[in-house]
Chain A
Amino acid sequence: VKLTPRLTLIFILYAAALLSVVGVLAYSNGREALRSATISELSATAIEKQAALSEWVERKQLGIALLAAEPATIDSAAALIGAPPGSAEKQGAHDKFVRQIQPRVDGGEFMTIMLIDPETGEVIAATDPSEEGKFKEDRPFFISGKLGPYVQNVYYALALQGPAMTAAAPLKGPDGRALGVLAGRINLEEMNSIINRRSGLRETDDAFLVNTSNFFVTQPYLVADPAVLKREVHTEAVNRCLAQSSGTLEADDYRGIPALVVYRWLPEQKLCLLAKMDQTEAYAPARAFGGAVAAISALALLVAAVLAVALARSLTRPILALQDGVARFGRGELDTKLPETARDELGALAHEFNKMAASLLEKDAELRAYAGTLEQKVQERTKQLQESHAQLLRAEQIGQIGSWEWNIPEDHVVWSDGLYQVFGLKPQAFGATSGAYLKQVHPQDREFVQQSVGKALLERGTFEYESRIIRPNEQIRTIFTRGELLLDQDGEPARMIAVVLDTTQRQQALQALRESEERYRSLFENMLSGYAYCQMLFEDGKPHDFIYLEINKAFAKLTGLNDVTGKRVSEVIPGVQESNPELFQIYGRVAQTGEPESFETHIPSLGIWFSISVYSPKQDYFVAVFDNITERKHAEEALRLENERFVRFVDSNIVGIAIAEADGRIALANDYYLNILGVNRQDFLDDKVDWRKFTPPEWLLADEKALRELGERGICEPYEKEYVRADGTRVPVYIADAMLPGPEEQIAAFILDISARKRAEADILRITEELRRSNAELEQFAYVASHDLQEPLRMVASYTKLLQKRYQGRLDADADEFIHYVVDGATRMQQLINSLLDYSRVGTRGRDFVSTPSEKIIQEALANLEVAIEESGAKITCDLLPTVSADATQLTQLFQNLIGNAIRFRSEKPPEIHISAAHRDDNWLFSVRDNGIGMESQYFDRIFVIFQRLHTRAEYAGTGIGLAICKKIVERHGGRIWVESELDKGSTFFFTLPVQGRVDIRMIKGN
């Protein structure tokens, strides 16, 4: 085992070492050469790109500078700048300038060209109209472009959302004045194509530019998605390059794949130029070469190994054969023969060994034959004995049986193996006497066992008993013993033989049965459900009556029926056949078919609802188990009623009702609500209706406020909003919400369509407005009419008076009378017109309301009435009066008219007038009470109508306008006026004025 591998290993190791040194040297030389070549290639590419890029940028700079220097450009720009702003000329010059520069864009040299105001930076004109009006005042190309031609290196243009590059040059007029800055945005596709230009000889070579924001400026060849231009790149090479250095590197590229990278920092452009190639491709030839070297080496190694094994084998094979033979002999293979092929010392050794082995083999065979027969016999006998004993033991074990035999004279007991097992004993743990046996018996059973055995001894008979024993592990077992007494030749007791059976399990089973029965009996008696075991009686094959055979306690408790056992149901519940025929049908069916059934029924005579399960233990008999479910039935009924009420409540459609959730779902809605939204019920049932979508944006805030209020208080104040239907029409609604209990946080909403009310409100507003205008017109008319009528009338009155003065008594009597009538009529008409003017002035010439104490106003009025008061001897009294907000002049007139009337319409008694005021419902209620002639109630309204009089002018002077003016004044102050009076018993005039400010506490007490 040792020699062959050792020799082989030495040969192979030597060969392997030689081959690997040669192989590694060859591979690394090749790889290094490839690396240098690739780096040279990439560097050449980078230098070429850098040069091309610089040249391209210079060309662009020159391009914009040339364009800015062209006389045509300068002329059109000057025309544009010189034109007055906003003029058609300006527009024309603008269009001309754009046409002038447009070819440069069409030719692809620039993407956009623009003319920028040198002062403000505003774009005045551009080939891309969307650039016009923008400001470039802070852009480097503008700031530097003002001074001379300039190219702003690649930068991120916010509006383009990507890289951009712009060339700019100053545009100067013939006088050298700066006209503007001409800027052209460069097409980066050109730069892209310069950088992307590839030889096509390689697969994974790539060149690209990265700016200082780590953004790709040109599309890398190996990434197709242009979105890469909006992403940052943070490879090792990019990081080193952006640290403003150049070099080469073996590192992962932007795809995370190992690559060879040449990076160059381009200080002029502030860009990083990278050229790279995947290492797999660069080193592919080296790998191929390495593979070949490895394959050749492996082959050479294999040949060397085969040779090494063969050589080692030829040296060690004969020695190993001898060693193997001796070893086999030593293990007992005595017929082993060693090969005697070799003619050397090894051959002689083998020959002698073979001779010795042959004689040993012979002796060994004889001995074996003799020993074989002897052993066989012993084995057979032993086996028979074992089997017999085992059978007995197995029988006893299976039957849990044992037996004992008592030699009475010697008091020696012999136990079978099974008995030891029954008693849980080992054979030596038993004393083998009757006393020792008794010790195993349960103390409470010992006396009884002794008596049973003693009796058999005395009566010379058999015995059997059941007793308990205690096993050494204190387990109690029950055993059944049956025995017999055997007598000797003299008839004296000689031996007693008994068989013992372990009956513990049977006893336990019996006990369990007894307990089970007790349990069920207790369940039967204590269960809350009623139980009745009955026999069904049939008449003409139809169930007719039944007899209660057995019932439990709950039966009586649930039904209220006592002592029913043995009685018929028709006797116990009279009339039940008529009231509950189904009871008999079901019971009869179950009693006959044996199929159990359950049902609920109401027994009117008991006034109870039952839930009953019936089954049949045997033909014609049945058992009914039942519960009183009256309460549940009542609850169900109440619930049903509640539900019906709710449905009626919702479906009454007097108001829109919906139950909704904050996410827009509507759980329930009535027709009224759906009509408001203009959706049909099918769409609602298909869950297509989201309440939030019906609220126009301007009402969202109102909804939000309501939801917040809901969250805080559980309900929200009703508010007005609008819904917009799918067809665009709007519905004004009045809405209130309430939070419903429950985890869904549903909201009950009550919605009233107030379109009609809104329309009515609008109508009222409109009518009120019309009325107001018409009133104003009327007032104006009255004023104008009365004012303009005065002038001619004054002439009529003056000249008739003159006529009267000159010709009174100079014409005949008729003429005098006629003139008198004319004068009187004209005077009255003057009075009427003055009154009318006064009346109309209440509305048109009123003054602003100021806070005025009422006392002061009344004093004024009384002063004006001084003469009348004196003449009539009137007595005027006042209560405490408030300060009011009023037109003082008009209020004076009001009191003056009322007090004046009270004096004028006095009876024979001297007038007594009392003025008082009280606080009533935010108003002051004034009253002026007199003891004058009074009036009948039918005139109460008429007296306030203009020019209405109750008396002739002969009886009481006046034009009939006083109270009409009073009414107008009070109404102008926002109050009301009326009278209470009885003929010959005086009158009281009431009017109200709104309370202004705080109420004097004395006024309230005064009432």
Chain B
Amino acid sequence: MMKIHLGLQRIIVLILAFVVPACSPGVTSTPALTPITVQLSWFHQAEFAGFYAADQLGYFREEGLQVSFVEGGPEVDFIAPVVNGTAQFGVAQPPNLILARADGKPVRTIAIIYRRSPIVFFSHADLGITRPQDFVGKKIRSAITLDLTLRATMARLGIQPDQYEIVYLPGDVSLFASREVPVWVGFINVIALDVQRAGYEINIIYPDDYGIHFYGDVLITTDDLIAQNPDLVRRFTRAVLRGWTNAQENPETIGKFVQKYNADADETLENARMIASLPLVNTGEDYIGWMKPEVWAVMEQTLREQGVLSQALDVEQVYTTQFLEEIYKK
């Protein structure tokens, strides 16, 4: 009895010796932390919940990382900062990434965040627009991140680009309400959700129903970083996946996290965005963040068929499953 007791005491002392200084609020500069910058693809919102959770819950710190985020926006090229090294990691859309790679930029995906694409088409329910064929002759609201999905869907159905008109508008509920542009492309958990919360009845059309099976947000970095510091990439990816797992399990905590980065964010709205994105992140197959090479192949083929990608690209250049395999082996 006595021996065990002493042993326990020693363990507790040891634990305190390591844990207490790390937790102590007086210690602000821990020299061991590596500074990391992440380029987001849009403004701060629940779309990036897992990153915020990893930051707020100390997962990055536990991996020895000090992470800061750079907002994206409608006119922000979110791949360039990763290529030129201003940011070590970024969030991107697969079509943009594939095009960047085809353009010789050494970037690749290390994990998938939205394993189902959040991009949908929607319109006022009373307009009776129920399928992409109904878009012919109409104006369609789009944005850089959404364009390729729209074009791919239309091309898949044999509808020519001159049969519809793309209009670039901000994602503003009042613009949708004005009915100037009848068809909108947007994220199901962002503008489509805003519109529904504002009380508008809408018809939603899913590109997935028309043969377009794209991944949504993906996590990217450069070939250089993977080659030179695979350990850093692994630690960062591991913390991000932990963050997303936690966000999935506790969606009601996300609104508060978002407010740490964007004080104007509406907590209930951000929580609702997170809840709407649960099935996009967790599909019930494999693990959070996992990817399948065949989906990449299909995306590449789709982009080629519609003429967005002029030459065939070896899709293995676009992603690596190395880190997901290492992380989930344990």
- Which A residues fall within an 8 A CB radius of B? 121, 130, 133-135, 137-138, 155-156, 158-159, 161, 211-215, 230-232, 234, 697
Contact present for B180 and A697 (CB under 8 Å) = yes
Which residues of chain B have C-beta atoms less than 8 A from A138's C-beta?
211, 213
Which residues of chain B have C-beta atoms less than 8 A from A215's C-beta?
278-279, 284
Q: Compute how far the CA of A211 lies from the CA of B275 in the bound complex, rounded to whole angstroms.
A: 17
Q: Compute how far the CA of A344 lies from the CA of B95 in the bound complex, rounded to whole angstroms.
A: 113
Which residues of chain B have C-beta atoms less than 8 A from A155's C-beta?
284
Q: Compute how far the CA of A728 lies from the CA of B130 in the bound complex, rounded to whole angstroms.
A: 30
B121 to chain A minimum Cβ distance, whole angstroms, is: 12
Given known contacts A231-B275, A697-B178, A137 and B249 CB-to-CB distance under 8 angstroms: no
Given known contacts A211-B284, A212-B285, A234-B249, A135 and B278 CB-to-CB distance under 8 angstroms: no
Which residues of chain A have C-beta atoms less than 8 A from B206's C-beta?
158-159
Given known contacts A156-B284, A212-B284, A697-B169, A134 and B209 CB-to-CB distance under 8 angstroms: yes
Given known contacts A158-B116, A158-B206, A234-B249, A213 and B279 CB-to-CB distance under 8 angstroms: yes
Q: Compute how far the CA of A556 lies from the CA of B279 in the bound complex, rounded to whole angstroms.
A: 90
Contact of A137 among B133, B211, B282 (CB under 8 A): B211
Given known contacts A133-B133, A213-B284, A697 and B175 CB-to-CB distance under 8 angstroms: yes
What residue in chain A is nearest B175 (Cβ atoms)? A697
Contact present for A231 and B278 (CB under 8 Å) = yes
B210 contacts the other chain (CB 8 A): yes
Q: Compute how far the CA of A158 lies from the CA of B278 in the bound complex, rounded to whole angstroms.
A: 11
Q: Type the 1/0 row for B141-152, where 1 means its CB is closer than 8 Å to any CB of A.
A: 000000000000
Q: Compute how far the CA of A230 lies from the CA of B193 in the bound complex, rounded to whole angstroms.
A: 15
Q: Compute how far the CA of A697 lies from the CA of B141 in the bound complex, rounded to whole angstroms.
A: 13
What residue in chain A is nearest B294 (Cβ atoms)? A138
Which residues of chain A have C-beta atoms less than 8 A from B208's C-beta?
158-159
Q: Compute how far the CA of A231 lies from the CA of B285 in the bound complex, rounded to whole angstroms.
A: 16
What residue in chain B is nearest A233 (Cβ atoms)? B249
5 further A-B pairs in the complex, CB-CB below 8 A; given A156-B283, A213-B282, A697-B180: A130-B131, A133-B133, A134-B209, A213-B284, A697-B175
- Which B residues fall within an 8 A CB radius of A? 116, 130-131, 133, 169, 175, 178, 180, 204, 206, 208-211, 213, 248-249, 251, 275, 278-279, 282-285
What residue in chain B is nearest A156 (Cβ atoms)? B279
Q: Compute how far the CA of A215 lies from the CA of B281 in the bound complex, rounded to whole angstroms.
A: 12
Q: Compute how far the CA of A357 lies from the CA of B311 in the bound complex, rounded to whole angstroms.
A: 127
What residue in chain B is nearest A212 (Cβ atoms)? B284
Contact present for B278 and A230 (CB under 8 Å) = yes
Which residues of chain A have C-beta atoms less than 8 A from B251's C-beta?
231-232
Q: Compute how far the CA of A253 lies from the CA of B283 in the bound complex, rounded to whole angstroms.
A: 23
Which residues of chain A have C-beta atoms less than 8 A from B210's C-beta?
134-135
Contact present for B178 and A230 (CB under 8 Å) = no
Nearest 4 CB-CB pairings of A with B: A213-B284, A134-B209, A212-B284, A135-B211
For A121, A137, A231, the residue with the greatest tally of chain B CB atoms inside 10 Å of its CB is: A231
Q: Compute how far the CA of A137 lies from the CA of B175 in the bound complex, rounded to whole angstroms.
A: 36
Which residues of chain A have C-beta atoms less than 8 A from B175's C-beta?
697
Which residues of chain B have C-beta atoms less than 8 A from A161's C-beta?
279
Which residues of chain A have C-beta atoms less than 8 A from B213's C-beta?
138
Contact present for B209 and A214 (CB under 8 Å) = no
Which residues of chain A have C-beta atoms less than 8 A from B284's C-beta?
155-156, 211-213, 215
A589 to chain B minimum Cβ distance, whole angstroms, is: 62
What residue in chain B is nearest A137 (Cβ atoms)? B211
Contact present for B249 and A232 (CB under 8 Å) = yes
Which residues of chain A have C-beta atoms less than 8 A from B285's C-beta?
212
Which residues of chain B have C-beta atoms less than 8 A from A156's C-beta?
279, 283-284
Q: Compute how far the CA of A121 lies from the CA of B210 in the bound complex, rounded to whole angstroms.
A: 10
A231 to chain B minimum Cβ distance, whole angstroms, is: 7
Contact present for A213 and B283 (CB under 8 Å) = yes
Contact present for A230 and B275 (CB under 8 Å) = yes
For A135, A155, A161, A234, the residue with the greatest tally of chain B CB atoms inside 10 Å of its CB is: A135
Which residues of chain B have C-beta atoms less than 8 A from A211's C-beta?
284
What residue in chain A is nearest B157 (Cβ atoms)? A133
What residue in chain A is nearest B279 (Cβ atoms)? A156
B63 to chain A minimum Cβ distance, whole angstroms, is: 23
Given known contacts A156-B283, A211-B284, A232 and B248 CB-to-CB distance under 8 angstroms: yes
B143 to chain A minimum Cβ distance, whole angstroms, is: 15
Given known contacts A156-B283, A213-B284, A697-B175, A232 and B130 CB-to-CB distance under 8 angstroms: no
For A155, A161, A214, A232, the residue with the greatest tally of chain B CB atoms inside 10 Å of its CB is: A232
Which residues of chain B have C-beta atoms less than 8 A from A158's C-beta?
116, 206, 208, 279
What residue in chain B is nearest A154 (Cβ atoms)? B284
Which residues of chain A have C-beta atoms less than 8 A from B282's C-beta?
213-214, 232
A218 to chain B minimum Cβ distance, whole angstroms, is: 15
A-B contact pairs, 10 of them (CB 8 A): A135-B210, A156-B283, A158-B116, A158-B208, A211-B284, A213-B279, A231-B251, A232-B278, A234-B249, A697-B175
